[in-house]
Chains A and B, each alone.
Chain A
Amino acid sequence: MMRPGFADPVQDAQSCFRAVLEALSRPGRVQTLASGLTPPAPLHPATAAVLLTLADAETPLHHDAGAEADAWLRFHCGCPMTAAGSAAFVLAVTPPPALATLQAGTDEEPERGATLVIQVEALEAGSGWRLRGPGIEAEHRLAVRGLPDGFLADRAARRGLFPRGVDVILCAGDRIAALPRTTLIEEG
């Protein structure tokens, strides 16, 4: 049987959106989503909530989360599935594809850059990476467990493309943190 989506689609999507907005506005600050979701494995509640909040028939999705998640995402978001290179949202529950393979938008329409949702093992504020950039007064710290080693280098190598780029939302359990394309990251 299909597991349910939001119990209150209007209010739950609104509160999850505000958490995502807050996450992107203050990169590295960890937000908790009270989504009430029990999505099929391997999706964590926060991962499912972010996609349910933002993805729909207008946003082609690419994911690596398997058949059960695929059915759930198709049913509740109604989004078409596509290759990573043409997706508006890319969900990675295993090591994410190289950023160069995703849509980065154009200099005139950088908003067409993809949003990469990465499900990780754990997110903890206050230690780990040192983040700077818009949304950050001085420095935010963020510790992420479960990202492949090359992620930061891959991201840093593409910084010169700005305003083109990919925005990242990290999800673990019921928590999220975001790394918009503007955020500079140093290893802690």
Chain B
Amino acid sequence: MNRDEAYNFAYLDENTKRMIRRALLKAVAIPGHQVPFGAREMPLPYGWGTGGIQVTAAVLGAGDVLKVIDQGADDTTNAVSIRRFFNRVAGVETTTHTGDATIIQTRHRIPEAALTEAQILVYQVPMPEPLFRLEPRLAETKRMHALADYGLMHVKLYEDIARHGHIATSYSYPVMVDGRYLMSPSPIPAFDNPKMDRMPALQLFGAGREKRIYAVPPYTEVRSLDFEDHPFRPHRANASCELCGSRSSYLDEVVTDDRGGRMFVCSDTDYCETRQEDQQTENAKGEAA
């Protein structure tokens, strides 16, 4: 515990936490529905996950263990800043190990390791409205959600198919939650969408600039929109990780030198490092035997 006593626990004042907590409960009660909340100014700029930070701050307790990832990595500036922030204002333990975390705040990925009932996944959301590119008028998108009138999104996806032969959306691929609400999964790769379906962990989403909170309760159906003749197929580079050999994880292509050298590595650094450590342990055992 090295909490900075100059701040209220987890930075937010108690009135703000109560307001966010009420919004979270209604979000859980109406899966996939965007609940407005009175977002507060945070000591980090928009785009740094102020919505996710406010959700985490309202949920977090002294006994929690927090993990923060950005594009799958624990060591980016964004992830490190958020982890330091909560260590300072809440004194909570932090970790990079997915399995040790009780709360995981994420930007752009879902961990490869299956999450459990004892965990909460908090997504940072830049744009909560899945229809915003198709219908910029807020009043109109509210009406569409009220009526579950999502024909516009189907038309858009079908135009994708007509133009590209497949659905060209590879990030923020829209999902239906519990068969009722169209929801943006945040800018995670479509590869991660199936992990949301019937996940044992509670999933919470915070959009700071747009002042919206939404949620997917545990074990809730999350289905990526598709068509019978064009079923949803999450894309993954056809390669294995150069570091751990995984053929099932989501890969990033990284540049290795200034002569155009490239390689594929796991985007989830904890998953990759854990696999490498396990392999070293196995090798050591093999040599000892």
Binding site for B on A (CB under 8 A): 9-11, 13-15, 17-18, 20-21, 24-26, 53-54, 56, 58-59, 106-108, 110-111, 113, 115, 134-137, 162-163, 165, 167, 180-182
What is the total number of residues of chain B having a CB less than 8 Å from a CB of chain A? 44
Cross-chain contact B61 with A18 (CB below 8 angstroms): yes
The 8 A-B pairs with the shortest beta carbon distances in the complex, nearest first, are A107-B146, A180-B29, A111-B26, A135-B217, A134-B220, A134-B217, A108-B146, A137-B219
A-B contact pairs, 15 of them (CB 8 A): A14-B60, A17-B59, A21-B202, A53-B21, A54-B25, A106-B146, A108-B143, A110-B26, A111-B26, A134-B218, A134-B220, A137-B200, A180-B28, A182-B178, A182-B217
B263 in the interface (beta carbon within 8 A): no
Complex: chain A residue closest to B180, CB-CB: A163
B83 in the interface (beta carbon within 8 A): no
A46 smallest CB distance to B (angstroms)? 16
A39 smallest CB distance to B (angstroms)? 18
Binding site for A on B (CB under 8 A): 8-10, 14-15, 17-19, 21-31, 33, 35-36, 58-62, 117, 142-143, 145-147, 178, 180-181, 198, 200, 202, 216-220
Cross-chain contact A111 with B61 (CB below 8 angstroms): no
Set A53, A56, A167: member contacting B26, Cβ < 8 A: A167
Measured between beta carbons, the chain B residues less than 8 angstroms from A108 are 142-143, 145-146
Complex: chain B residue closest to A181, CB-CB: B29
A61 CA / B29 CA spacing, docked (Å): 20
Cross-chain contact B220 with A135 (CB below 8 angstroms): yes
A178 smallest CB distance to B (angstroms)? 9
A108 CA / B138 CA spacing, docked (Å): 11
Cross-chain contact A26 with B18 (CB below 8 angstroms): no
Cross-chain contact B219 with A134 (CB below 8 angstroms): yes
B112 smallest CB distance to A (angstroms)? 22
A19 smallest CB distance to B (angstroms)? 11
Cross-chain contact B18 with A54 (CB below 8 angstroms): yes
Cross-chain contact B21 with A54 (CB below 8 angstroms): yes
